[in-house]
Structure 1
Amino acid sequence: MTVIDTEVQDGRARPQRGAKVLDAEQVTMRFGGLVAVNKVDFDVHEGEIVGLIGPNGAGKTTFFNCLTGMYKPTSGTVKFYGEVLPPKPRAVVKAGMARTFQNIRLFGNMTALENVMVGRYCRTTSGAITSVLHGPKYRREEAESRSRAQELLDFVGLGKSSELLARNMPYGDQRRLEIARALATDPKLILLDEPTAGMNPLETQQAMDLIFKIRDQGLAVVVIEHDMRFIFQLCDRVLCLVRGEALVWGTPGEVQSDPRVVEAYIGGSELEDDEDEVQA
């Protein structure tokens, strides 16, 4: 990861927006007669943090799955640095896109270090025979993976927890461990699905600091999150989905001040009374 130039925006340093990393055009996902995502356009640039918000059932995770190869869109295209991505998660990861999940998916009986090393294996090239026989190439790549995994644990603040079993780690640490494992794939873009779900205020602030730290290393970041305060403080741009369609797409200020966003979350009848709560 390489630190990129920064500029000051809204009172805090932000990397200058670079080349377009991800470009999704008219992405549609149907399940039988149900249209879960309908003609959504979305793009992310280098050095940018982009938020994806919307009420429950808005299609956020389905859209994430279309971007990351879990689903093949019914129509539309997803391009990564100008190349159309195949609808295969492994190919997407090797191309340079990594993600975490809303529900933690760690290997509970493996240590924190071993969990992160799993993420490195998509970058190793040892064949089956040399791996079984523990040949020189295998030993070299294993040592490199172990060293890199420890570096990433240090980076996310878990350096002293490397030998803990994942299942025995506090909830907030498990979330950070998932991020470390995603970073182990050497991504250019990382997508985080509700990274602060279930966290207390201190853990949420730590998560925000970590995401800024990741961005400052030159990665682009996309975040799904229900915590509006978190999203509007974190992101450069925000897309609001409602019933699978793009409702508002713009800066945090533009999105949080749009009455359609307030209505989507709390309903039109209470729009005026509760608008300040959504904008907080």
Structure 2
Amino acid sequence: MSTRVDERPGGQPSGAPSPGGAVLLEARGVTMRFGGLTAVNQVDMVVHEGEIMGLIGPNGAGKTTFFNCLTGLYKPTEGRVVLAGKEIPPRPGLVVKEGMARTFQNIRLFGNMTALENVMVGRFCRTSAGPLTSIVRGPKYRREERETRERAQELLEFVGLGGSTELLARNLPYGDQRRLEIARALATDPKVVLLDEPTAGMNPRETEQAQELIFRIRDNGMAVVVIEHDMRFIFTLCDRVLCLVRGEALVEGAPSVVQSDPRVIEAYIGSPDVDESDEELDAEIGSELHTEREEGR
């Protein structure tokens, strides 16, 4: 698999599909309440095949809670989530089998397992050997074990970790751990991948590599939904962006539309002074939000 990404002036790779394909993931009226607290309120989102969708918002906006509703970790108080025309059950294991995979804001790898073994774990949902066959290590078990190992190695190569197969996950550099978690998600053969702050804690070179990897994931036929605080990264990467504020959808559209919306700017950095120009504000939102992320938000 090629690692080269051809850039267009807007940051998108050449040949990138434009939004408007078949709807793959659809959330309608999703609401999540915890007692008297409404964390997410009547949020809609549609993701098309071959599309990269960004999800942004200040801290406490409800982004991760919304992710948890999409992936079955939470059962929404109201609303519904549909994947490839089928309403998903509030059970993460079944959601993965239906074709949705995710990573987490805090890395969740098996530290004492090798990189290869971590990816093989993600493949478990696509194996069918029963308990008896596994115990006696029958022909079906051995065949699936071999196929799983081969597929895991392919995915390590795909994310750029082909030389780290036998290294323990806890001994990998931070950026490599992030990529390993993505490889494990890809091992489930998803239709859509949800990435929760995939560049958190990364240096500029690692962030660039993450962007290239996400483009390649999209180019392999998957849709991608990304939560991220790095505005430069998200506006360069995505076809469309949805901004949440206090659990509600504030604005959704092309990156250029969302980036220049005064409500988004105000949500992040407060009301602008009356004498600031639009150009100054556009530049400020990028620098302020990048600084916010670097300082640990």
TM-score by length of 1: 0.95
What is the CA distance between 1:232 and its match in structure 2? Answer: 0.2
Among candidates 255, 274, 284, match of residue 277 of structure 1: 284
Please say if residues 50 and 237 of structure 1, whose CA atoms lie closer than 8 Å, have aligned partners that are also in contact: yes
Aligned equivalents of 1:158 and 1:95: distance in 2? 27
What is the CA distance between 1:279 and its match in structure 2? Answer: 4.5
What is the CA distance between 1:82 and its match in structure 2? Answer: 1.4
Q: Secondary structure at the match of 2:147?
A: helix
Runs of 4+ that moved beyond 3 A: 8-12, 269-274
Aligned equivalents of 1:87 and 1:29: distance in 2? 13
Amino acid in the other structure paired with 1:251: A
Q: Secondary structure at the match of 2:251?
A: strand
Please say if residues 257 and 279 of structure 1, whose CA atoms lie closer than 8 Å, have aligned partners that are also in contact: no
Amino acid in the other structure paired with 1:51: G
Give CA-to-partner distance per residue, 1:185-208, whole Å, 9 cap, x none: 000100000000000000000000
Distance change (3 Å), C-alpha of 1:235 and 1:264: same
Counterpart in the other structure of 2:292: none
Aligned equivalents of 1:12 and 1:223: distance in 2? 17
What is the CA distance between 1:12 and its match in structure 2? Answer: 3.8
What is the CA distance between 1:16 and its match in structure 2? Answer: 4.3
Q: Secondary structure at the match of 1:261?
A: helix
Aligned equivalents of 1:256 and 1:278: distance in 2? 8
Give CA-to-partner distance per residue, 1:128-176, whole Å, 9 cap, x none: 1111111111110000000000000000000010000000000000000
Counterpart in the other structure of 1:122: 125
Counterpart in the other structure of 2:149: 146
Q: Secondary structure at the match of 1:255?
A: helix
1:94 and 2:101 aligned: no
Please list, as runs of the form range in 1=range in 2, the aligned pairs for 1:116-195 lying within 5 A after superposition: 116-195=119-198
Please list, as runs of the form range in 1=range in 2, the aligned pairs for 1:239-278 lying within 5 A after superposition: 239-269=242-272, 272=276, 275=281, 276-278=283-285
Q: Which runs of 5+ in 2 are unaligned?
A: 2-7, 288-297
Counterpart in the other structure of 1:5: none
Distance change (3 Å), C-alpha of 1:185 and 1:105: same
Counterpart in the other structure of 2:17: 15
Please say if residues 195 and 225 of structure 1, whose CA atoms lie closer than 8 Å, have aligned partners that are also in contact: yes
Amino acid in the other structure paired with 2:285: V
Aligned equivalents of 1:209 and 1:232: distance in 2? 14
Q: Secondary structure at the match of 1:179?
A: helix
Aligned equivalents of 1:9 and 1:78: distance in 2? 35
Counterpart in the other structure of 1:28: 31
Q: Secondary structure at the match of 1:35?
A: strand
Report the structure, 1 or 2, having the larger strand content. 1
Q: Secondary structure at the match of 1:199?
A: coil
Counterpart in the other structure of 1:4: none
Please say if residues 112 and 165 of structure 1, whose CA atoms lie closer than 8 Å, have aligned partners that are also in contact: yes
Q: Secondary structure at the match of 2:195?
A: strand
Aligned equivalents of 1:193 and 1:245: distance in 2? 18
Aligned equivalents of 2:221 and 2:81: distance in 1? 21
Distance change (3 Å), C-alpha of 1:105 and 1:81: same
1:208 and 2:208 aligned: no
